[in-house]
């Protein structure tokens, strides 16, 4: 069967990664979570005191970019690649609310974006890939055979993220999570370089009232239709 590129973009906490992982598993495609890459750079900046609640040394971060090595290493138990920053598994560290608070600022920097986009294009050069992010259908793979754009209300998304963080034992309030979701939406959609926009040829899915199974079935059908035509 012909292999394609599936680009999944959309707002934060719309379940992009859950859907992308399910699809990659079903199709035996590679799954790439590009948000994890931006998160790992933000985590590096935090660890090296380049970013904090009242400072951000962008120049120092840009200068440090050649020292930031990102790699997905496949974890057979999980069925997908985990994010390694300079050979350290940082999957847990990059999912905290602190990293979520800083990551949009890091993702605004053009030098960061071009480094990561180049790496993402390399990972997808042989197709058979499901990649999720904000600019996959617009910048990384503008020729992707299928582009999905996912949305849901800010409240629905905040509730999902809040439940996830609570399950992990993170002591956060729903109000803080909602604030973070709204702030990130603003920064992601207003940044000068590659703002979050829906590609002209993307299919929009609002999953506020769709469950995972319904959404998975709908997108799988779309993929099967596309594969027949390429």
72 is in an annotated binding site: no
Instruction: Choose between 185 and 227: whose C-beta lies nearer to ligand DC.
Output: 185
Strands 129-133 and 5-10: what pairing? parallel
d(CA 26, CA 37): 24
114 is in an annotated binding site: no
15 is in an annotated binding site: yes
58 is in an annotated binding site: no
Instruction: Choose between 135 and 145: whose C-beta lies nearer to ligand DC.
Output: 135
Q: How far is CA 65 from the centre of its chain?
A: 20
d(CA 9, CA 135): 7
10 is in an annotated binding site: yes
Smallest distance from ligand DC to CB 169, Å: 19
Instruction: Choose between 41 and 219: whose C-beta lies nearer to ligand DC.
Output: 41
Residues that bind ligand DC (CB under 6 A): 12, 34-35, 38-39, 103-104, 107, 133-135, 184, 188
Instruction: Choose between 179 and 227: whose C-beta lies nearer to ligand DC.
Output: 179
Sole residue written with tokens 């934060």 = 12
Compute the half-sphere exposure of residue 56: CA atoms within 13 Å on the CB side of its CA.
14
Smallest distance from ligand DC to CB 104, Å: 4
Smallest distance from ligand DC to CB 2, Å: 25
Q: What is the sign, positive or negative, of the torsion defined by CA atoms of 138, 207, 31, 82? A: positive
Q: Count the Cβ atoms, other than its own, within 10 Å of residue 31.
A: 23
- Largest CA-CA distance found in the chain, in angstroms, rounded: 53
Smallest distance from ligand DC to CB 55, Å: 19
Binding residues: 10-18
Binding residues for ATP: 10-18
């Amino acid at each position: 069967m012909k292999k394609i590129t599936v680009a999944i973009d959309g707002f934060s906490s719309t379940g992009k990664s859950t859907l992308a992982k399910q699809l990659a598993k079903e199709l035996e495609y590679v799954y790439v979570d590009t948000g994890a890459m931006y998160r790992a750079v933000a985590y590096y900046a935090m660890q090296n005191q380049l970013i904090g609640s009242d400072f951000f040394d962008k120049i120092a971060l840009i200068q440090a970019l050649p020292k930031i090595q990102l790699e997905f290493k496949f974890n057979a138990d999980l069925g997908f690649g985990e994010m390694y920053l300079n050979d350290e598994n940082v999957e847990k560290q990059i999912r905290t609310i602190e990293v979520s608070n800083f990551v949009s600022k890091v993702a605004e920097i053009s030098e960061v974006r071009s480094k990561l986009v180049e790496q993402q294009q390399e990972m997808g050069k042989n197709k058979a890939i499901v990649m999720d992010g904000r600019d996959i259908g617009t910048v990384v793979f503008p020729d992707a055979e299928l582009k999905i754009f996912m949305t849901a209300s800010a409240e629905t998304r905040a509730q999902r993220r809040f439940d996830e963080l609570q399950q992990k034992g993170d002591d956060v309030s729903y109000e803080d999570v909602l604030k973070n979701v709204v702030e990130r939406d603003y920064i992601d959609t207003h940044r000068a370089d590659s703002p979050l926009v829906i590609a002209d040829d993307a299919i929009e899915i609002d999953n506020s009232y769709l469950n995972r199974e319904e959404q998975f079935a709908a997108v799988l059908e779309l993929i099967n239709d596309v594969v027949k035509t390429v």
